[in-house]
C-alpha cells in the first residue's frame, strides 16, 4: 500500500477556533463561578478536597454511614425498600423504584427534571386509575 502525502498542505494547521485571550479568560471565570456554585450546593453532602480510602471496604463503610445519616426526601430506607419492584433484565434481577416511590421522592424537590418526571408519573397514575401517594 502506498502512502499518500499532500506536500502542499501547511504543517501546523489549526482545526477549529481558538478564542482570543480575553474570551478564554471570561469563559474560565464562568467555569470557576459554576464550580463554586456546585461546591456550595454539595456542602455537607460530598466531602471537599481529595479523599482517599485505603481500600474499597473503607470507602463502602463511609458511604453506608453517610447514607444512613441522611434521609433523602424524608423517606427512610426501610420504608422505601417496601416499594421496590424487582424486574428481570436479561436474566438478572434488578431493583427499581416503583412509580409510587418515584412520586414520593420527586414531589418535594424543585428540580426541573423532577417536574418533568412528575408530569409523566401523573399521566401514569391517571392511565392506571390510581391516585398519586402523599409526598
Q: What is the pTM of this model?
A: 0.47
Establish if 40 belongs to a structural domain. Answer: no
Establish if 56 belongs to a structural domain. Answer: no
Give the angle subtended at the CA of 36 by the CAs of 30 and 39, to the nearest 5°: 140
Please state the φ and ψ torsions of residue 72, each to the nearest 5 degrees.
-60, 130
Helix, strand, coil abundance in the chain, percent, nearest 5? 50, 10, 40
**Mean of pLDDT values over 93-102:** 90
Asked if pLDDT for residue 117 goes beyond 70, the answer is yes
Check residue 109 and give its pLDDT: 78
CA 36 to chain CA centroid, nearest Å: 18
Please tell me the distance from the alpha carbon of residue 98 to that of residue 63, in angstroms, as a whole number.
24
Establish if 2 belongs to a structural domain. Answer: no
Establish if 29 belongs to a structural domain. Answer: no
Give the number of domains in the chain: 1
Establish if 9 belongs to a structural domain. Answer: no
Check residue 119 and give its pLDDT: 92
Q: Which residue has the cell 392511565?
A: 127
Please tell me the distance from the alpha carbon of residue 3 to that of residue 124, in angstroms, as a whole number.
60
Determine the structural domain holding residue 86 and report its residue range: 75-135
Amino acid at each position: 500500500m502506498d502512502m499518500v502525502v499532500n506536500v502542499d498542505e501547511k504543517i501546523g494547521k489549526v482545526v477549529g477556533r481558538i478564542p482570543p485571550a480575553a474570551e478564554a479568560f471570561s469563559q474560565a471565570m464562568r467555569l470557576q463561578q459554576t464550580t463554586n456554585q456546585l461546591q456550595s450546593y454539595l456542602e455537607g453532602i460530598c466531602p471537599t478536597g481529595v479523599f482517599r480510602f485505603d481500600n474499597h471496604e473503607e470507602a463502602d463503610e463511609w458511604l453506608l454511614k453517610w447514607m444512613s445519616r441522611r434521609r433523602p426526601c424524608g423517606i427512610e430506607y426501610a420504608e422505601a425498600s417496601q416499594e421496590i419492584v424487582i424486574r428481570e433484565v436479561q436474566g438478572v434481577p434488578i431493583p427499581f423504584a416503583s412509580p409510587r416511590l418515584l412520586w414520593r421522592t420527586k414531589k418535594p424537590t424543585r428540580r426541573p427534571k423532577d417536574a418533568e418526571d412528575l408530569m409523566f408519573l401523573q399521566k401514569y397514575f391517571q392511565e392506571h386509575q390510581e391516585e398519586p401517594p402523599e409526598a
